[in-house]
Amino acid sequence: MAATAVLALPLAACSGPLSTLDPAGPAASNIAILWWIMFWGAAALFLLVGVLYALAFYRPQMLSRFSVGQWIVGGGLIMPTIVLTALVTAAFVLGERLIPKPMEDQPPRVYAMAHQWNWQFGYDDAEGQTLQLHIPAGAPVDVVVTTSDVIHSFWVPRLAGKVDAIPGHENVLRIEADRPGTYRGVCAEFCGDGHTRMRFAVIAHAPEDYEAARAAAIARSGR
């Protein structure tokens, strides 16, 4: 109960429009799961080392039952092998799921073009551009990210990880929003004195509203 109360305090700050720990889609959920695995893995190891450290001071006879060789083999070889194998496996399995692999129904493509200091979004199936990215909710969308000038980074923490925008190169990030809503994004690579203003939003619409909402946004940005 006390532990819950202690944990609730810092974790109360984990929600919010730019929180990786408040995922709103499958890619971000995998990242959050990986984060929690790493957090609890690190917390358990920290606790173990803390307990051993305390025992060395207050109950040294408990530790001296093991020989130096046993400590080195157990604590220096066997334990790290088990811990690192488990954590690396989790990271590989979850990281693999973030790769935009070819699908039977290839997701629609949208284009994110970074400029110093704003974003412009284009669409495979519509003329014109928008200043916020419009997507249908509940389905994957491939975002093709590039830049007209320096390196930027496209990051919508509640939907997916970061991907760099590199001149002359296209990086693809698969995003999906489980529900309609507005998801805030930022440029995550320092790109000059307008960097902190380089914000945008991904607006996910119910599939039936998507095209009309996007057409309205294109019309607005054309004015």
Which residues of this protein are in contact with Cu ion, per CB under 5 A? Answer: 152, 187, 191, 198
Asked whether 216 and 145 are in contact (CB, 8 A), the reply is no
Minimum CB separation from Cu ion for residue 194, in Å?
8
Q: What is the 3-state secondary structure (H, E, C) of 30-59?
A: HHHHHHHHHHHHHHHHHHHHHHHHHHHHHC
* Virtual torsion, Cα 124, 128, 131, 136, nearest 10 deg: -40
Backbone angles phi and psi of 76, in degrees to 5: -100, -20
Which of 135, 198 has the CB closer to Cu ion? Answer: 198
* Among candidate residues 121, 140, 139, 119, the one with its CA nearest the CA of residue 130: 121
Minimum CB separation from Cu ion for residue 187, in Å?
3
Minimum CB separation from Cu ion for residue 186, in Å?
9
Minimum CB separation from Cu ion for residue 3, in Å?
41
Burial classification of residue 74, based on how many CB atoms lie within 10 Å of its CB (0-12 exposed, 13-18 middle, 19 or more buried): exposed
Minimum CB separation from Cu ion for residue 143, in Å?
15
Which of 152, 184 has the CB closer to Cu ion? Answer: 152
Which of 94, 187 has the CB closer to Cu ion? Answer: 187
CA dihedral sign of residues 42, 47, 48, 50 = positive
